[in-house]
Amino acid sequence: MILENHRLIMYHKQATSARVTFLLLNGSVCHFDGLPAESKIVDSTIEEDGIVDYPESLISNSTKRLGLSSNILEIEKSFQAKAGNSTLTFDVYLAGFTTVDPPREQLAHLGGKLISITEAVRLQRVEIELLGLAYSFLMD
Residue 138 has pLDDT above 90, yes or no: yes
Which helix H or strand E contains 11, and what residues bound it?
strand 6-13
Annotated domain spans of the chain: 6-139
User: Mean pLDDT across the stretch 20-35?
Assistant: 96
User: Mean pLDDT across the stretch 46-71?
Assistant: 86
CATH code: domain 6-139 is: 3.90.79
How far apart CA 13 and CA 51 sit, in angstroms, is 21
- Please report the pLDDT score of residue 129 as a whole number: 97
Contact 75, 94 (CB under 8 A): yes
User: Mean pLDDT across the stretch 1-24?
Assistant: 88
User: Mean pLDDT across the stretch 11-27?
Assistant: 94
